[in-house]
Structure 1
Amino acid sequence: MFPNNTAFKIAVTTNAPSADTVVWSVADSNGAIKTQGSFAVSAGVQTSTLSCKSTWSGYGALTATLRSAGGTLPRSGTRPTGIATFGVLPDLSSAIGTVTYAHQDQHRFGMQGFNGNIAALHALGISWTIDDREVSAMEPNGPYTYTPSVNDLDPFYKANPDQMRIVRLDGLPAWDSKTGQFNDSYYAPSNMTEFKDFMARVGTDTSAIRSANYPNQQKNYYQVTWEPSLGWADSDANFVAMYKAAYEGIHSTDANAVVMGTGNPFPANCDTCTTGYLQKFGALGLWNYIDAVSTHGYWNAGTYPAHPPELQDSDPDPANQANALDNQMTQLRSVMQAGKPNMKLFFTEAGTSYDPGLSYGPTVPSQNQLFAHAAVGVRSHIIVLGGGAQVTTLFFGPDYPGEVGYGSFFDLNDAQGAFGATNLSPKPEAMAFATMTRVLDGTNTLGRVKGTPSGTFAYAFQQLGNGKVVTAAWAHSNAQWPTSGGVYSQTYSTSYTLQVDNAGTSGIVTKIDGYGNVTTVPYSNGAVTLTLTEVPQYIVSNNATVAKNNSTVPLGYTGQ
């Protein structure tokens, strides 16, 4: 990934049987050719270097062949045959200006899969990662073997204090497990007294680390369980008792603790979703032992991008409509407000895979699959923030084995992907993420824009310090998005009129496309006419009063 308007090089290696000509092109995420050319090569192995600079931002897919001898770029790891990819990062300083953060926790984007890869985190605009403090990580061999220390901090965080920690607490070693072997907090610990004391030591440790390394961070954030509905096998009472021990232990030593749960895979609308657990265990006292809610952000696992987050919004069956991610957000915020008003909400994982049944190979993923993967992935995080989450966490960094396509980057070494891979090249999703974070970090949520037509989605945000308004908007058509696989429309569009100023006024707003390219658009009578597609665009305007009047703040959301 390269900065906008900065020189970089593309090196092309050939092994032509005789003198020949390389014909090359660079296409964007939509498959449109941005630039192309050719150059002569002699026989045998040689490397030719193109000197490049781009004022266009986004994803680039390089293709190349020999005019006479043919051939194409080889498959590399999880990246298919025929392309080499790169990204040009947007420079949006002129469009959105600089935001001042009163405290560090106002940042809104975390990520899984790049702990240690600070270059990738910075390129993607990330401020939160997840740090392990489970009993299984800190006391694998026996009780009271962990001693808190301000120096008990991964060197990565020490060197990069712009990366805040969400402290992960699930995971019990064999010695503290009712099963006699590791379990991911699917049972309460065997030794609850030691567990509570362990959590007090984690609080001591975390509080000291924050004071020494994060002086502008207001709170410390702890997540007690991780997708417990995938395996919880203990009693209901013990689930609440485990939270009580964690909560009381942490709060006994950390006056700035925010203890979060329950971290289920789906936000709402089922017994095993986060709302189901909050209601079930809340009736047994859980609300007393959480300061905020954390959840994961999946909406129909195993069916993306064939099943985008808005698919069921237009379903005639209300029961199906409730599964749409925007409606799950509304339900989750409602349950939270009934249980404990005005709580913070963290999404600690949300990701998008390729379509079911696909396997990495010479022709997988296709350009169309990569287009859909990016469009659906970025929309899900906008819905989460627009629906009232303080923080959302992108999942995942590189492709990894076992689940196909969740990475936002190709792993160029390993055919099935690898955790911790570092030889990477971006997918369109990575570059869409890089734009989204630059535009929406440093904002408060104003909420969903009122009165949008069916199939049109618009969420308003305002920069901290009563700054500029940013409206993220896109269109989705089920008819253009086959749920059984197939070709997803890259050309579907619809017209939408967004009010950006007072009636009777005219002027200009700034439009940022989904990959960070900036244009200006005139408006008249206070409204701008937009052409929306399946890829979000961002409209930057100045009249916050109009934006606030035309949007609905999510229930219980109180800002960053």
Structure 2
Amino acid sequence: MQKAGGTPNGLITADTPTTDGLRVFQNNAPFNLTVTTNSPNADTVVWSIADSNGAIKTQGSFPVSAGVQTNTISCKSTWSGYGAITATLRANGGTLPHSGTRPTGIATFGVLPNLTSALGTVTYAHQDQHRFGMQGFNGNIAALRALGITWTIDDRQQSQMEPNGPNTYTPSVNDLDPFYKANPDQMRIVRLDGIPAWNSKTGQFTDSYYAPKDLNEYQSFMAKVGTDTSLIRAANYPNQQSNYYQVTWEPSLGWADSDANFVAMYKAAYQGIHSTDPNAVVMGTGNPFAANCTTCTTGYLQKFGALGLWNYIDAVSTHGYWNAGTYPAHPPEQYDSDPSPANQANALDNQMAQLRQVMQNGKPNMKLFFTEAGTSYDPGLAYGPTVPSQNQLFAHAAVGVRSHIIVLGGGAQLTTLFYGADYPGEVGYGSFFDLNNAQGAFGASNLSPKPEAMAFATMTRVLDGTNTLGRVKNTPSGTFVYDFQQLNNGKVVTAAWTHNNSQWPANGVYSTTYSTSYSLQVDNAGTSGNVTKIDGYGNVTTLPYSNGQVSLTLTEVPQYIVSNNATVAKNNSTVPVGYTGQ
């Protein structure tokens, strides 16, 4: 349908507008693609929609009159994932304009997967069995639900609640952001780092770098936070088993106090919270990296554990960055094939094993929470008309999703996606483009998805509501396979991909076609039948198997195989040390 008028931006623009600003749609639901032209004479629009690999999914053309015209195409998609629209005028040229952090030449949208037929419905005995949190979309319920998120981080730092002096905070069941009250499907991880100037040894606000000046008052404050949180849980989250508190946030970036005072701070927080909240899970230490260095979470657990820290944490929290950077050119598996054992230890899967073992040595069978993990663009890139490329977006999604699967497959209860939309200062961490601000902005609401967002939306729908069975044994080098099982002894879900450093050079040109063959055992020897394959963006197909084995073609983007023989899966995988389920 063509209608005179509209808001031009150059010769041609395209959009898939939504009232919530996300440009994300349900599978097989109608939506509109609008194309606005400002041609000097009658012309023809040539348009196409490509997926995350650059493959054309659909294309077409239509005539337009001279002047400003708005053309609306009614759409409905039965495939799921990321769509990149391109459009030009056949005679007069033009391309879709640069918009915020989204480059020239594309307009993007997403289609969510519908996986009920493949996965069924999972019943949760407790709400906190869910496995995915997110930073960057607090308050944006449409985005959180689209991405399959059920945890966000809520501030209860002393610097937030008592900024001006001691004993000024009164706990209350009403002390809850209206967002949480309106959306009880979104649970809270309570963030406790942040010391106000009046209680700081420096005389200024400090974040995880010094213990408070008055530890007695700090402990009293934490008791109030425990009261507050316990009341809120009872009133708003009756099916949530525990309350979760993270005491420090990346302290290794600047801890300047004594070792003894680090443990004393944890002791005060732990004793204060537990004095009023019988369901408290106090977590630490929240370092940027999981393992394999003195400033990583393992290093802090070993150093301060020897001074008594194990007595003052109920669970471990960490951030999920891996050493030497988190960007497509340096994927989490890069060091797995390194001949040096010292370098191999830096691979994220090996960091997970090391972290789990340190935890087991210190305090057996603890829960493990990753409260932040994200992937940026490659170093040296800056938002602009040509950044990011389609290839960078493809790799950004593949690496981002794989890191979270490794974390869950390695024995974390929960992993937290980082970040919502692009923001200033660190290029590319967003899973959505910010269409209004050239460098991104915190709290942006006019958005369009990157491939990573739609890959996240598939991963969360597939792996939420599962227990980890662990890494599949005896896989070839460069093959990564993790087994999970739905709660209540449900279906088996296997996440599988391949990675080859030679196909993933550090020059920003990553193979979208590299693949390897792999045979996955899904049933007993001698049996045949079918399993369900869910690709990395939620598209479902049926695969036959024979003699208990299904033949797979693995790529750098994870795929998920849904099968039914849990006994086979458990026999073929190794449960992470100390992981006892959700």
Match of 1:508 in 2: 530
Match of 1:299 in 2: 322
Residue 559 (structure 2) pairs with residue 537 (structure 1): yes
SS of 2:417's partner is strand
Match of 1:552 in 2: 574
Counterparts of 2:326 and 2:190, CA distance in 1: 30
Deviation at 1:303, TM superposition (A): 5.0
1:519 alignment partner AA: T
Match of 1:269 in 2: 292
Residue 93 (structure 2) pairs with residue 70 (structure 1): yes
Number of equivalenced pairs: 559
Match of 2:467 among 416, 433, 444: 444
Contact 1:168 1:223 in 2 (8 A): yes
Residue 550 (structure 2) pairs with residue 528 (structure 1): yes
Match of 1:422 among 433, 442, 445: 445
Superposed CA deviations along residues 519-551 of structure 1, whole A, max 9, x for unmatched, are 000000000010000000000000000000000
Superposed CA deviations along residues 8-63 of structure 1, whole A, max 9, x for unmatched, are 00111110010001000000000000000011111111110010000000000000
Counterparts of 1:409 and 1:177, CA distance in 2: 37
2:530 alignment partner AA: I
Deviation at 1:253, TM superposition (A): 0.1
SS of 1:48's partner is strand
Residue 87 (structure 2) pairs with residue 99 (structure 1): no
Match of 1:433 among 451, 456, 461: 456
Contact 1:303 1:356 in 2 (8 A): no
Deviation at 1:150, TM superposition (A): 0.1
- The 5 A counterparts of 1:125-524 are 125-300=148-323, 302=325, 304-483=327-506, 485-524=507-546
SS of 1:348's partner is strand
Could you list the structure 1 runs, at least 4 aligned residues long, displaced by more than 6 angstroms after superposition: none
Superposed CA deviations along residues 261-316 of structure 1, whole A, max 9, x for unmatched, are 00000000000000000000000000000000000000035451100000000000
Superposed CA deviations along residues 471-505 of structure 1, whole A, max 9, x for unmatched, are 0000000000013x230000000000000000000
Counterparts of 1:107 and 1:89, CA distance in 2: 19
SS of 1:309's partner is coil
Superposed CA deviations along residues 242-274 of structure 1, whole A, max 9, x for unmatched, are 000000000000000000000000000000000
Match of 1:118 among 122, 141, 153: 141
SS of 1:110's partner is strand
Q: Give identity over the alignment, percent.
A: 87
Superposed CA deviations along residues 136-168 of structure 1, whole A, max 9, x for unmatched, are 110111111110000000000000000000000
SS of 1:40's partner is strand
2:529 alignment partner AA: G
Counterparts of 1:74 and 1:167, CA distance in 2: 41
Contact 2:392 2:508 in 1 (8 A): no
Inter-CA distance 310–415: structure 2 relative to 1 (3 Å threshold): same
1:222 alignment partner AA: Y
Contact 2:326 2:375 in 1 (8 A): no
Superposed CA deviations along residues 373-399 of structure 1, whole A, max 9, x for unmatched, are 000000000000000000000000000
Q: Which runs of no fewer than 5 residues in structure 2 stay unpaired?
A: 1-23
Match of 1:108 among 127, 131, 134: 131
**TM-score when normalising by structure 1:** 0.99
SS of 2:117's partner is helix
1:35 alignment partner AA: T
Counterparts of 1:303 and 1:558, CA distance in 2: 29
Counterparts of 2:474 and 2:532, CA distance in 1: 22
* Deviation larger for 362-371 or 176-185: 176-185
Contact 1:300 1:307 in 2 (8 A): no
SS of 1:202's partner is helix
Contact 2:378 2:508 in 1 (8 A): no
Deviation at 1:173, TM superposition (A): 1.0
Inter-CA distance 301–2: structure 2 relative to 1 (3 Å threshold): farther
Contact 1:302 1:355 in 2 (8 A): no
